Structure 1
Amino acid sequence: MKRASASIALCVLFCACLAGCKQPPGPRYVPDDADVARGRAAIERVGCGACHAIPGIGWPQGRTGPSLYGFRDIGLIAGALPNTPANLAAFVRNAPRAKPGSTMPAMPLSEEESRDVAAYLYGLDDE
């Protein structure tokens, strides 16, 4: 009887833990091809590759900042912000404002360009 009670208690605890897990935020963001193309052009224009290794950008392949391969699958941007298109656009435009203390500088990007950069990063099929 004790063994059955322990099994039931363990099962209830397991179910309670699962119930506490957050559901994914919905379907994966799929960017528009035109936004992706503009994002790549913006990345090349402002020189993001000087600090980051970026799929689809052959040169440079910087190592100062983190590699952006597999970016869409990371949980947090800069270890602090939920990985959403809006958070990413805000971060790439002005990282110190989005995450105080960030070593990434504010970039010369408009709001639209920063959304396009986010579209590029989310649209990657890592090469």
Structure 2
Amino acid sequence: MAAALLFAACIVFGITALQRSEQRQVAHAITGGDPSRAPELMIRYGCGGCHAIPGVPGATGRVAAPLTGLRERVYVGGVVRNSADNLVAWIVDPRSLSPRSAMPRTGITEAEARDVAAFLYTR
């Protein structure tokens, strides 16, 4: 019985790991970014001060929407169609897409925003 439970747990863990790997590959393909670099960037640019972001230490902000399930959303920032290019543009300069947005321009570069976008599409 214990062996069967251990075997089942290994299968579930293996499937979950495979799904995460596929999510990272897809996110990289559509954004051109590396999701593994994003947590450090999101800490450096203070994203977690406003947003709750799973996988980013200390990112427990409650000012803005939590950054989970982003790939399933129809809009980015509630104003533009959800696409990799729009998400990157939003991360770099949200007010260029929505002048009344409360989200500030942080100084993040486009290349860094691609990494963040890739990360967000894996969550």
TM-score normalised by length of structure 1: 0.69
Runs of at least 5 residues in structure 2 that lack an aligned partner in the other structure: 1-22
Amino acid at match of 1:55: P
* Alignment root-mean-square deviation, CA: 2.0
CA contact under 8 A between 2:48 and 2:61: conserved in structure 1? yes
The equivalent residue for 1:115 is 114
% of aligned pairs identical?
A: 37
Matches within 5 A, 1:1-127: 30-32=26-28, 35-124=34-123
Please state how far the C-alpha of 1:60 moved relative to its aligned partner.
Answer: 3.3
The whole-number CA distance in structure 2 between the counterparts of 1:111 and 1:79 is: 21
**Aligned residue pair count:** 97
Please state how far the C-alpha of 1:86 moved relative to its aligned partner.
Answer: 0.5
Runs of at least 5 residues in structure 1 that lack an aligned partner in the other structure: 1-27
Structure richer in helix, relative to its length: 2
Bigger Cα Rg? 1
TM-score normalised by length of structure 2: 0.71
The equivalent residue for 1:3 is none
Q: Secondary structure at the match of 1:101?
A: coil
1:43-100 residue CA offsets vs partner (Å, 9 max, x unmatched): 1111100000011123130000111121111111111101111100000111111222
Amino acid at match of 1:96: R
